[in-house]
Chains A and B, each alone.
Chain A
Amino acid sequence: MADILGAGAGWLMIAMIAGLMGCFLVKIQVIKKEAVAECGRVCSLCGMFAMGEYLLMLLMNTAIYGTSFNTDFASVLQHALFDGIRSNGAPVHGYLQVSVALMAVSGLLMYFAVKKNADGKAAWKGTFLFYMLPGMEICFLPGICCLVPPVVSGAVFLLRKKVHAEKIVNNETVYAALCVLFAILKSAVLYIMAVGV
Chain B
Amino acid sequence: MKKKLCTWVLAGFAVLLIHDVMLLAGCVLIHGNLSMESLKNLIWDRLTMPGDAQRYLQIAEEGYATEGENAINLVFYPLYPLLIRVFSLGIFDLAGTGMVLSRLFLMGCGAALYELAKADGDESKAWYSVLLMGVYPFSMFTVGVYSESLFLFLTVLCMLLIRREKMPLAGAVGFLAALCRVQGMLLIFPAVYCVVEGRLGKEKRKIRKSDVCLLLIPFGFCVYLLINAALHGNPFQFMIYEEGEPWYQSTKWIAENISSQYHNAQNFKGLETIIYWPQIVLYFGVIVLIFLGMKMDVRMEYLLYAGVYLGFTYLSGWMISGGRYMLCCFPVYLIISQLKNEKIRWGILGASCVFFFLYSLMFLKGYAIM
| Chain A residues packing against B (C-beta within 8 Å) | 1-3, 5-13, 15-17, 19-20, 23-24, 27-29, 37, 40, 70, 91, 93-94, 97
Are B284 and A12 in contact, with the CB atoms below 8 A? yes
| The residue from A3, A7, A11, A19 contacting B294, defined by CB atoms under 8 A apart | A19
Least Cβ distance of A44 to chain B in Å? 8
Asked whether any CB of chain A lies closer than 8 Å to the CB of B255, the reply is: yes
Chain B 296-323, CB-CB to A under 8 Å as 1, else 0, gives: 0000100110010001001000000000
> In the assembly, what is the distance between CA of A29 and CA of B256, in Å?
36
Least Cβ distance of B93 to chain A in Å? 44
Name the CB-closest residue of A to B286.
A16
Are A6 and B311 in contact, with the CB atoms below 8 A? no
Q: Would you call the interface of chain B mostly helix, strand, loop, or mixed?
A: helix
Name the CB-closest residue of B to A17.
B307
Mind listing 10 A-B residue pairs with CB under 8 Å? A5-B262, A6-B262, A8-B258, A9-B254, A10-B254, A13-B254, A13-B311, A19-B294, A93-B259, A94-B255
Instruction: Given A27-B201, A28-B197, check contact A3 B259 (CB 8 Å).
Output: yes
A11: chain B residues at CB < 8 Å are 255
> In the assembly, what is the distance between CA of A93 and CA of B307, in Å?
21
Are A27 and B287 in contact, with the CB atoms below 8 A? no
Are B255 and A7 in contact, with the CB atoms below 8 A? yes
Are A6 and B259 in contact, with the CB atoms below 8 A? yes
Are A16 and B300 in contact, with the CB atoms below 8 A? no
> In the assembly, what is the distance between CA of A10 and CA of B253, in Å?
8
> In the assembly, what is the distance between CA of A106 and CA of B4, in Å?
54
Q: Which of A5, A93, A94 has the largest number of chain B CB atoms within 10 A? A: A5
Least Cβ distance of B257 to chain A in Å? 8
A70: chain B residues at CB < 8 Å are 266
Are A2 and B196 in contact, with the CB atoms below 8 A? no
Asked whether any CB of chain A lies closer than 8 Å to the CB of B290, the reply is: yes
Q: Please give me the 9 A-B residue pairs with the lowest Cβ-Cβ distance, nearest first.
A: A10-B255, A6-B259, A9-B258, A28-B200, A6-B255, A2-B259, A2-B262, A93-B255, A6-B258
Asked whether any CB of chain A lies closer than 8 Å to the CB of B202, the reply is: yes
Are A93 and B196 in contact, with the CB atoms below 8 A? no
A13: chain B residues at CB < 8 Å are 254, 287, 311, 314
A91: chain B residues at CB < 8 Å are 255-256, 259
Given contacts A24-B197, A27-B197, A70-B266, 18 further A-B contacts (CB under 8 A): A5-B259, A6-B254, A6-B259, A9-B258, A9-B283, A10-B254, A13-B311, A16-B287, A16-B291, A17-B307, A19-B290, A19-B291, A20-B307, A28-B201, A29-B200, A40-B294, A93-B255, A94-B256
Least Cβ distance of A6 to chain B in Å? 3
Asked whether any CB of chain A lies closer than 8 Å to the CB of B193, the reply is: yes
Are A20 and B304 in contact, with the CB atoms below 8 A? yes
| The residue from A12, A23, A28, A37 contacting B196, defined by CB atoms under 8 A apart | A28
> In the assembly, what is the distance between CA of A37 and CA of B292, in Å?
12
Are A5 and B266 in contact, with the CB atoms below 8 A? no
A9: chain B residues at CB < 8 Å are 254-255, 257-258, 283-284, 287, 314
> In the assembly, what is the distance between CA of A16 and CA of B303, in Å?
10
Are B202 and A29 in contact, with the CB atoms below 8 A? yes
Asked whether any CB of chain A lies closer than 8 Å to the CB of B205, the reply is: no
Are A16 and B290 in contact, with the CB atoms below 8 A? yes
Asked whether any CB of chain A lies closer than 8 Å to the CB of B263, the reply is: yes
> In the assembly, what is the distance between CA of A23 and CA of B255, in Å?
24
Asked whether any CB of chain A lies closer than 8 Å to the CB of B280, the reply is: yes
Chain B 201-225, CB-CB to A under 8 Å as 1, else 0, gives: 1100000000000000000000000
Name the CB-closest residue of A to B193.
A24
Are B201 and A93 in contact, with the CB atoms below 8 A? no
Least Cβ distance of B329 to chain A in Å? 13
Are B262 and A23 in contact, with the CB atoms below 8 A? no
Name the CB-closest residue of B to A6.
B259
Instruction: Given A6-B256, A13-B311, A16-B287, check contact A29 B201 (CB 8 Å).
Output: yes
> In the assembly, what is the distance between CA of A23 and CA of B201, in Å?
12
> In the assembly, what is the distance between CA of A10 and CA of B311, in Å?
10
Instruction: Given A2-B262, A13-B311, check contact A24 B300 (CB 8 Å).
Output: yes
B287: chain A residues at CB < 8 Å are 9, 12-13, 16
A12: chain B residues at CB < 8 Å are 284, 287
> In the assembly, what is the distance between CA of A97 and CA of B256, in Å?
11
User: Which residues of B169-216 are within 8 A (CB) of A?
Assistant: 193, 196-197, 200-202
